């Protein structure tokens, strides 16, 4: 099992000083898993916050993701080298393919082979995928073997539980990372989650995160507020009952929030 810290700090949509503050606050509070991506346009700021934090590199787990424009065999490694320069790191702990190539213009085999090459060159300690359909994941495993795929990062929250994708990954022993685990804050107003939170003297965000953590997923919520970053850490100590887990399972409604026009045909 690849040791990806269970609770990470997402940086999607955070820019400039906002992302510097979020990462700095997160590191001060004890976060050690930071997730960024080429397309977020904030790798340099994330790198600055890490560099200024004084936290030892060996304590950190940093993830970035290769954007679709860089999936060609000739572009992937140079783009990752550029990401490393921005992050001020010699190696990232994890590099993911952010999305499959739109309309499969570039074959999975081509970019997974390039990713393996990047790992062999020491640019990334681990590799993985994101937003893959089961068919894409199958193709990726054929290139790398399932044991090389450290995680599959997908949208998972109480309103989109992505069960087919989760089941397929778990069947092949592939770890999952849940992004948007709070559904852009929608979990905060759900009556079922509010009720569970009340019974545990917790808040709805902690409940939604604990629900994902108890299934063995890593979670990468983001926040610009230090108090929320601190509060989210409380999910690590929260244990939900089987009844709680079943109640949240009942909230599935196929509510997909990340669905750009170039997305694959979802399972």
Q: Which segments are annotated as binding site for substrate? A: 98
What are the catalytic residues? 40
pLDDT of 240 reads 98
Domain range 9-182+217-222, CATH class? alpha beta
Please tell me the number of Cα atoms within 13 Å of 28 on its side-chain side.
12
pLDDT tens digits, one per residue of 34-72:
999 999 999 999 999 999 999 999 999 999 999 999 999
* CA dist 147 → 1, 39, 96, 128 (Å): 9, 27, 15, 10
* 253 CB-near residues (< 8 Å, 6+ apart): 159, 160
Question: How far does CA 71 lie from the centroid of its chain?
Answer: 19
Q: How far from 17 is each of 20, 21, 25, 40, 62, CA to CA, in Å?
A: 5, 6, 12, 14, 19
Please give the angle made by the CA atoms of 134, 135 and 140, to the nearest 5 degrees: 95
* pLDDT tens string 149-172: 999 999 999 999 999 999 999 999
- Going from N- to C-terminal start, the domains of the chain cover 9-182+217-222
Residue 193: pLDDT over 70:
yes
Question: What are the strands of the beta sheet with 92-97, ordered from one edge?
Answer: 9-10, 33-35, 61-66, 92-97, 124-130, 149-155, 176-179, 218-219
Q: Which residue has the higher pLDDT, 2 or 228?
A: 228
């Amino acid at each position: 099992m690849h040791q990806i810290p269970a609770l990470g700090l997402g940086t999607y949509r955070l820019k400039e000083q906002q992302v510097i503050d979020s990462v700095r606050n997160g590191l001060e509070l004890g976060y050690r898993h930071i997730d960024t991506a080429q397309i977020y346009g904030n790798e340099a700021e994330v790198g600055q916050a890490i560099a200024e934090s004084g936290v030892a590199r060996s304590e950190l787990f940093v993830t970035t993701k290769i954007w679709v424009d860089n999936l060609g065999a000739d572009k992937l490694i140079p783009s990752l080298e550029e990401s490393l320069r921005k992050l001020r790191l010699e190696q990232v702990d994890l590099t993911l393919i952010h999305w499959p190539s739109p309309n499969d213009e570039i074959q999975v085999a081509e970019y997974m082979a390039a990713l393996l090459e990047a790992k062999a060159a020491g640019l990334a300690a681990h590799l993985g995928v994101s937003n893959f359909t089961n068919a894409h994941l199958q193709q990726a495993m054929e290139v790398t073997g399932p044991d090389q795929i450290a995680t599959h990062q997908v949208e998972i929250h109480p309103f989109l539980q992505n069960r087919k994708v989760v089941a397929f990954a778990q069947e092949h022993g592939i770890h999952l990372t849940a992004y948007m685990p709070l559904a852009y804050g929608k979990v905060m107003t759900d009556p079922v989650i509010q009720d569970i939170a009340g019974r545990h003297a917790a808040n709805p965000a902690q409940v939604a995160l604990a629900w994902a953590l108890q299934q063995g997923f890593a979670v990468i919520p983001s926040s610009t507020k230090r108090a929320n970053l601190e509060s989210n850490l409380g999910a690590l100590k929260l244990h939900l009952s089987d009844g709680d887990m079943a109640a949240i399972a009942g909230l599935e409604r196929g509510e997909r929030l990340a669905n750009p026009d170039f997305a694959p045909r979802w399972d």
